[in-house]
Amino acid sequence: MKAMLCRAWGGPDTLELGEVPRPVPGPGQVVVDLAAAGVNFADTLMVQGKYQEKPPFPFSPGLEAAGTIGALGEGVEGLSVGQRVMVTLGWGGFAEAAAVARSDVFPIPDSMDFATAAGFPITYGTAHAALCWHARLQPGETLLITGAAGGVGLAAVEVGKALGARVIAAANGRDRLAIAADHGADELIDYTEDDLRQRTKDLTGGRGADVVFDPVGGATFEAALRATAWGGRLLVIGFAGGTVQQIPANLLLVKNVAAMGVYWGSYRQQAPHRLAEQYRDLFRWFEAGHLKPRVGARFPLAQANEALLLLANRKATGKVVVEIA
């Protein structure tokens, strides 16, 4: 079968299309014939050897995908061959098929197409876990989201609105902010024109945001921290801006702010039973029309390296997807 392969650490341009054996399911595993795969910032780090997981060469990037079940391993229950599913993986999504653990397989609604499903697990899983499990966002609270036009940012906009929050979306440029507004953002902040801290204060009567959701890091994080309300919750989602910030603990202290890291991928190992529960909620919101995932760009498997470059250069809006079949 065909797969996009990483044979040595390097940039996305070093990936090449190759042939690998089709996987066979082991006990407790499911082989899924993949139709599409989601592209994540972590994929760009993994191929460079900068991610916390370093697969053996050669490997295919791809942490999430969707398709139909092709084969079931011994002991797998509750699934059937031909069933439409989305899957989460440690790697291996940029290929025509993948063998995954039963706990990483989730049947999708009939109304959800494969491209949407492929880009759904991580962005919406992260937004849901951060806002529901960590921040415990309440109706009527103010939520500030940086990088609000990206995949996880847009997911947070929609999840925040579904939870009844007032959502302030921050992004680079009016075109990107218009996308956030289309997905439900109540207020908009343009980094290129506005001071993030001051504008957030202006929009909240000087109080600041109750919850901050930051996948950007660096200077953006520092401004967002200073825009957090007394007793607020600050969610560290990632470092798409390229800089891992240091948090001044004195600011947490004097404002009684709780800073929380959210690495959704760790739930796959530490608490996998919680994922099925959260996807039931998210699929219910999807079918009710509260979630409208945006697939901003699509690439064929042979051009998966271009998909990674688009994301690495922060040119993407919504989700980038590699279409396989």
Three-state SS at 17? strand
Give, in order, the Cα–Cα distances in Å from 81 to each of 30, 63, 64, 109, 210: 9, 22, 19, 16, 46
What is the pLDDT, as a whole number, of residue 244? 85
pTM above 0.75, yes or no: yes
- Work out the angle at residue 26's Cα, subtended by the Cα atoms of residues 24 and 29, and round it to the nearest 5 degrees: 95
Comparing CA positions, the residue from 6, 2, 23, 24 lying closest to residue 15 is: 6
What is the pLDDT, as a whole number, of residue 58? 96
**What is the crossing angle of helices 218-226 and 196-203, to 10°?**
30
Q: What DSSP element (H or E) covers 252?
A: helix 249-255
What is the pLDDT, as a whole number, of residue 314? 80
Comparing CA positions, the residue from 43, 33, 151, 25 lying closest to residue 91 is: 43
pLDDT 10s digits, 182-229? 999 999 999 889 999 999 999 999 999 999 999 999 889 999 999 999
Show Cβ contacts of residue 308 under 8 Å, excluding neighbours closer than 6 positions: 12, 15, 39, 43, 44, 47, 61
Q: What DSSP element (H or E) covers 127?
A: helix 121-128
What is the pLDDT, as a whole number, of residue 187? 97
What is the pLDDT, as a whole number, of residue 229? 97
According to CATH, where is 3.90.180.10 located in the chain? 2-120+293-323
Question: What CATH number has the domain spanning 2-120+293-323?
Answer: 3.90.180.10
pLDDT 10s digits, 91-109? 999 999 999 999 999 999 9
> What is d(CA 188, CA 228) in angstroms, rounded to the nearest whole number?
16
Q: What DSSP element (H or E) covers 117?
A: helix 114-118
Report the CATH superfamily, name and number, of domain 123-265: NAD(P)-binding Rossmann-like Domain (3.40.50.720)
What is the pLDDT, as a whole number, of residue 246? 86
Spell out, as residue ranges, where the chain has pLDDT lower than 70.
none
Q: Classify residue 119 by its DSSP letter.
A: T
What is the pLDDT, as a whole number, of residue 121? 97
According to CATH, where is 3.40.50.720 located in the chain? 123-265
